[in-house]
Amino acid sequence: MSKMDDMVAVANAMVTPGKGILAADESTGTIGKRFASIGTENLETNRRDWRDMLFRTRPAMDDHISGVILYDETLRQSAADGTSMVDLIKATGAIPGIKVDMGITPLAGRPGETITQGLDGLRERLAEYYELGARFAKWRAVIEISHPDVAVGRTPTEGGIKANTHALGRYAALCQEAGIVPIVEPEVLMGGAHSVERCHEVTERALNSLFTELYEQGVALEATILKPNMVVAGKQCAQQPTREEIATRTIKVLKDTVPSAVPGIAFLSGGQENEEATRNLDMMNKIGGFPWKLTYSYGRALQQSALFAWQGKAANYDAAQTAFAHRAKMNGLASKGQWSPEVDAEVDA
């Protein structure tokens, strides 16, 4: 097969019905905050053992995880028994991937907005990541909605959106040059006080800009995965939408902006609670009527219950795997529109 055929096959495998993507790409600083919540020291061995435990959770990895996004450290890491993390993932049938952006920094000339770093040297890093076993990559752009009371200097601006989507387009083109499937992630943050209507508007603007950039930079959409936010109100908004409204609005935005050539859309959880992220994905798949496969690319929404069960202790290994397996199974059901609160309440053996 050609390089493009290989990438198309990978992209389609990443959105296999019943499966989704485990985002295990927390930076050293971010995972340190997660470990602090359970009183566990942020050591290389603890980071290794935590991710090793997740990747060895069978049959959850076999049945419900299509790919794993890794941090640079983890892609190069081996478990305590000497097995590389890449080989652990591949043994389950999942595809190893890599986070390639280098975080956000203030965007010059646009107060209150940010731009994602990491394009310099990316071509060379992607070539190395391919040799290390990565077959897809992720780049996150951050789009923040200003407080509704702000009259001057409201964000996001058109310039801020365009700067971020242009970077996503350049990143995606470099990925495909290297034979790596790009996940493009324009995240409209959900932490503010904005309404669901405002999120709808901004998400639509961001996605329209993104697909213009992808087209102009020659990115093959059939070998690209979209990782967007759902259309939700800000966490601080007094008026919270129902899951039916979230699902209906999210589907409408996607239909209005995303070409059908894209094989699949893997949502970020964006700080939603575990069951909330599951039920919103499930509702969209119950409604149906769209050309793409809708699935998940969750980090905290897949890992949080397992992290609290683990507590950094080897004695809790089985309990943590049980918690992770349950969330993976629930989201697998949601990706097919087969989840229910009753099933989620059941305790898996």
Known catalytic residue at 185:
yes
Known catalytic residue at 342:
no
Q: What is the pLDDT of residue 151?
A: 86
Q: What is the pLDDT of residue 348?
A: 56
Nearest Cα to Cα of residue 106 among 115, 93, 97? 115
pLDDT in tens, 112-142: 999 999 999 999 999 999 999 999 999 999 9
Distance CA 127, CA 121 (A): 10
Domain locations along the chain: 3-345
Q: What is the pLDDT of residue 349?
A: 45
Q: What is the pLDDT of residue 347?
A: 65
pTM exceeding 0.85: yes
Q: Please count the CA atoms within 13 angstroms of the CA of 237 that sit on its side-chain side.
A: 21
For β-strands 104-106 and 114-116, DSSP reports them as antiparallel
CATH architecture designation of domain 3-345: Alpha-Beta Barrel (3.20)
Please, what is the average pLDDT of the chain? 97
Distance CA 2, CA 176 (A): 12
42 pLDDT more than 80: yes
- Catalytic one of 26, 113, 185, 213: 185
Q: What is the pLDDT of residue 309?
A: 98
What DSSP element (H or E) covers 116?
A: strand 114-116
pLDDT in tens, 225-258: 999 999 999 999 999 999 999 999 999 999 999 9
In terms of Cβ atoms closer than 10 Å to its own Cβ (0-12, 13-18, 19+), residue 23 is buried
Q: What is the pLDDT of residue 346?
A: 83
Mean pLDDT value of segment 293-299: 98
- Catalytic one of 99, 138, 227, 293: 227
pLDDT in tens, 164-185: 999 999 999 999 999 999 999 9
337 pLDDT more than 60: yes
Tell me which residue has tokens 């919540």: 37
Distance CA 69, CA 83 (A): 18
Mean pLDDT value of segment 313-333: 97
What DSSP element (H or E) covers 265?
A: strand 264-267
Distance CA 281, CA 295 (A): 7
pLDDT in tens, 48-95: 999 999 999 999 999 999 999 999 999 999 999 999 999 999 999 999
